[in-house]
Structure formats: structure tokens, C-alpha cells
A and B are shown apart, each in its own frame.
Chain A
């Protein structure tokens, strides 16, 4: 872990190319069984339950048993579960299927399977699931990116100052705030913000509510940057507060770890200015664990998106998922979960790889 004081670089760093390369490959290969396991579990959950996935499909109209039987054959639900799983995964265009539901398999299937990006059709809208998700995903990513830009811009300086002035008034205030900030449910904070800034306060200029309570922009209005920003303020604030509390506390302890290390003393002994020591030497290393933490936190971010998009009528993936769940739109639910899990697993893969490059001290065995 520790290398000699005289060495600028740890000795094993010269072999980093091969080392990290092998590590990246091994780590990527680990992600595949994880995704497969998740897909099996999801598939089992939806299909083993009595009623099966068609429970949500036939709900709107009373269905005759013959019709239900026919639908079952058309969807391939009369086949054994493992076969259904394989079809869901890789499609059925290589096998004969019973397209008209008369009990005779006569033509090749048309499904391509989720591995080839075919998530089937939504029960609710009868449109391809992937298209629906791709319509909404950018809105969620947009809201999350703005939120996390705000979170890091605020949390990094707060955590850093708090660590440098440990036990000062500022530090104690920050620590208290971080407990409080993490205890506020984001959906409640959202309601309170709407209460204050939409129903409570009026703009002194227009007499209209101070801030809009939902949506991404004013409908039937021309594009305006200011309008977009106004619509972002409340959802971003509601989601960001807890994360600012969490990351400022995390960075504070990470920074405290770093500033007590020998190389910081060395930097000070060289006569560097305190500012330089802290921002150049200490902060850089204190930020490294943040990369891993962010990857660990990603699942919770998607959780938060559901609440925020619900409270603020944000047309994103969280809201789409919520609506799909209300109507038991299983293809949509499964697709959203698989895609979300895929995003999360690949991000944590990226974070681990980034970590390997950022921190040459870690070993790959």
C-alpha cells in the first residue's frame, strides 16, 4: 500500500497496462452472469405468479376462455417456462410458432428477443416498449444530470471546508444539516416546496405563482431558457437536498482521512501554500472514493426519480414505470427494470475501471 518517500510513482505502475487490461476484462465478464441472473429472477417473478403476464392484458374486457386460450398460444404462453424465457431473451424467429392461435405452429416467429433490443409491445399503448422508453429516458437523464451537477458543486466545497475546520461552528452546522437532510423523504420535501413556492408565494411582477409546480416547460409556449430553468428549480431542489447532505458528509470523512497522511505533511514541509496543498494534493485523493460511492448510489437515484417525477409530473422514465405498474403493463415493467439494471451494472463497471486508473495503489488479483 505504501511506497517509499523518495519514489514519485509506485514501482508496479510501469506494468499498469497489462494489469488493468486483464482486470477490465475479468470485471466485464463478471457483469454478464449478474445481468443474466437479474433477467431470470424478473422473468420468474412475472411468470410464476398465478394468472401470469396476461393478467394485465385481458383486464379491460371480459374475455371468453377460448379467446384467452388463443391469446396464450399466440403469445407462446402455452410453452414451458424455460422455453418462454429463452424466447424472451433471444427471440423466436428461429422456431415455428402458432401465430393465429389455432393450435398448429405454422410460421416462424417475429420476436427478436431483448438481447437484440426487442422488448415487445406495451399492453397499454400497443407501441414498441423500447420506443416508449427511449422517448422518456432523455428527460430523466436531463433532470438527473442537472441535479447531480448541483449536488457536486455544493457538496464538494461544503465537505472540504467542514473537514479542514473540523469541530468549528461551520462543521457542526454541516453535520447537523446532513442528518436532517437525509431524514427528509424527497416526496415530502417536494410537496412542501410546491406548498411554499407555488401555492404560497406570488411573483411580485406578474402576480402568478412564484415557480411552476410541475412539467418540463409551459405548454403551448415558445422555447425559452428561463422557462426551462424555472421548471427545473423545484424538482432539482427536492432531489438534491438529501444527496448534498449525504455527499458533503462522505467527502468530509474522506478528506479527513487524506489530510492526516504523510504525503500531505510532505507537501506542507516543501513550503507549499495551504490552499495548494488542500486543493491540489488533498482534494484530488479525497475525491477518488466518491467515484465508487456514486456507482453504489445509482440504484437509489432511479428510486428517487420515481418520486420526483410523480410529484412534479415530470415526463420521465420513473413516471412511465409508475403508470405501467398501475395497469400491470408487464412488458413495459420488465423492460424498464432490465434496462435500469443494465445501466446500473455498466456504470458500476465503469466506476471500478475508473478507480483502477485513478488509484494506482490498489492491487488486482
Chain B
């Protein structure tokens, strides 16, 4: 028997459905627009006539003007160019963290939710424990250790290293979310049916349950990207992330701290970029949440 309410859509059907509902959310559309513009500008940063790292002392600390829309920094470099190149770091880190937290969190949550029992207990205690760690403090410690030693794969000052460190500390919400969905869905009739025709555990998990969890995962991944960008800029602001001369929004702000009184534009623009990207991402996440209605599945089985 097919349940008319079940989320059995063909792939393109789901996407159209989601997009139709997503469009009705004005904040989400505005967020998508702003994010696309920012990403476009960041991708095209190479077209700028200025170099992000070569100093030009005669034109140092100029206020915003036509030639330098965001002004110049203490070494005469064009701030707009540096901000756009900094955006590359932020977006790369944000994207990588999402990938890492999916790669760790999704299988962990799936196994815990599907098998339950002691496996669930052990995996969730580990998740809880990592969750209680104040992540920034651990990141600072990791960064201090990595700065001291030469470890293969962990190049200093590379966005990948930062992304890996942040990613290792941000998969927990994904794991919990996936677990809750698996826990709810594995009790449903179509899973019993799949078992009865001899489907293997891995097939049931990947082919039958996972498609139902796409919604919550997408929403969480979007929000996670915002947190990761915020985390990277915070870490770089403190001097434990990306270090100058490579620009990143965080280290641009930390540099601005010393010049706050006389050259405020140095502090205003990089922060504004962080703000714009985070607010766009959270509106998009909100729109996706409504569009996917991730709790529909859970409501159907009476979980909430």
C-alpha cells in the first residue's frame, strides 16, 4: 500500500516542489540574491587592477574614493580587493566545513539511529561530549599546536587546515539531526516491507531512509556554513586562523583594531561583509526550512 502523504517523489519533483515554496519566502529570495552577488564579486576578484598582497606605501591609509571604494590599508593595498580575496578564504572554509561535518555527522547519526541500542548509546555519548567542548578554545589550542610543529597535510596558514579543525568540531548537530530522523523513519511500514523482501541494512539506510532526510540535512548544511564562516573569521581575528599577508575577513578586522580611531573604514567594510553573508545564509536556511518542512516526516510518525 502506498501512503499518499509519504515523501515518495521523483527527484525532479521534490526539487520543483521545494523551489516553489522557497520562492514564496521574501527573506530567502533576498538572501539568495545578496549571496549570489557577493559570490560573483568574490569569484571575479582577480579582475581587480590591484594586487591583494603587494604594498604601495605612497597611497597608504586613503579614505574610500572612486579609485579605492573601500579605501586603502596601512600598506597602501586596496581594501576592496583584499576584502574580496578574503571572501575566497571564508567561502572555501565554509564549504569545506559543511562537507566535513556531513562526512562525519551523517554516517554517525545514521548508524546510531538505525541500529539503536548500545551503538546508539556510545555514539551519542561521544557526540554529547564533543558538544560540551567550547569549540573556539579547542580551536585556539589546535592552532597553537599546529603552529609549533610541522605536520604533513596540515600546512600552516592554509584554509584547508582551518576548515579541517573547524569541521572536526562541528558535525554534532548534523549527527543528532540525522539520528532523530533515522530513529523515526525506521519504524515505518515501508521499512518493514523492505526488510521483508530481504533488503540489506546498507541498502535500506541509503536507498530508503536517506532520501527522506535530505530536507533537514540541507537546512542544517546551510546554517552550518554560516557558523563556519563566523568561526573562521573569529579565529583569524584572534590571530590563530589565516595570518597576514593572506587576507581574511577576520585578520583584516584584527588589523583594523589598531587603526580604529583615525581610519574607521578599515573596520567597517570587512565586518559588513561577514554580516551580509551570515544574514543571507540564515534567511536562505529559514526559507529552505519552510520549503522542505523537515519536521513533516517526524510529525507523521508522532515523534513531535
Contacts and interface: CB of A to CB of B under 8 A. Distances in A.
Interface of A: 30, 33-34, 37-38, 42, 45-46, 49-51, 55-56, 179-180, 182-185, 187-188, 191-192, 194-195, 199, 299-300, 302-303, 306-307, 310-311, 321-322, 325-326, 328, 333, 336-337, 340-341, 344-345, 348
A191 B253 contact: yes
A303 B137 contact: yes
B171 to A, nearest CB: 15
Interface in B49-83: none
Given A187-B237, A340-B137, 17 more contacts: A33-B125, A37-B129, A49-B149, A50-B151, A51-B148, A51-B149, A184-B271, A185-B230, A188-B271, A192-B267, A195-B267, A199-B261, A299-B132, A299-B133, A299-B134, A325-B143, A337-B134
Given A56-B148, A185-B233, A179 B260 contact: no
A195 B264 contact: yes
B135 interface: yes
Contacts of A344: 132, 134
A344 B27 CA distance: 35
B230 A321 contact: no
B166 to A, nearest CB: 12
B195 interface: no
A183 B148 CA distance: 33
Interface of B: 27, 125-126, 128-129, 131-138, 140-146, 148-151, 226, 230, 233-234, 237-240, 253, 256-257, 260-261, 264, 267-268, 271, 274-275, 278-279, 282-283, 286
Contacts of B257: 191, 311
Contact of B141 (A33, A199, A303, A337): A337
B135 A182 contact: no
Q: Is the interface of B mostly helix, strand, loop or mixed?
A: helix
A45 B137 contact: no
Contact of B137 (A187, A310, A337): A337
Contacts of A188: 253, 267, 271, 274-275
Nearest to B253: A188
B267 A341 contact: no
Nearest to A56: B148
A299 B144 contact: no
A336 B136 CA distance: 13
Which residue among B125, B134, B278 has the maximum number of chain A CB atoms within 10 Å of its CB? B134
Main secondary structure of the interface of A (DSSP, over half): helix
B101 to A, nearest CB: 16
A300 B129 CA distance: 15
A296 B125 CA distance: 15
A34 B286 CA distance: 33
B132 A328 contact: no
Contacts of B143: 325
Contacts of A192: 267-268, 271
A30 B144 CA distance: 31
Contact of B260 (A182, A194, A333, A337): A194
B253 A302 contact: no
Given A184-B275, A303-B135, A306-B136, A199 B260 contact: yes
A195 B260 contact: yes
Contacts of B144: 325-326, 328, 333
A219 to B, nearest CB: 20
B237 A307 contact: yes
Contacts of B271: 184-185, 188, 191-192
Contacts of A310: 238
Contacts of A195: 260, 264, 267-268
A49 B126 CA distance: 22
Contacts of A183: 226, 275, 278-279, 282
Contacts of B233: 185
Nearest to B274: A185
9 contacts: A56-B148, A180-B275, A183-B279, A187-B253, A192-B267, A195-B260, A303-B136, A307-B234, A333-B141
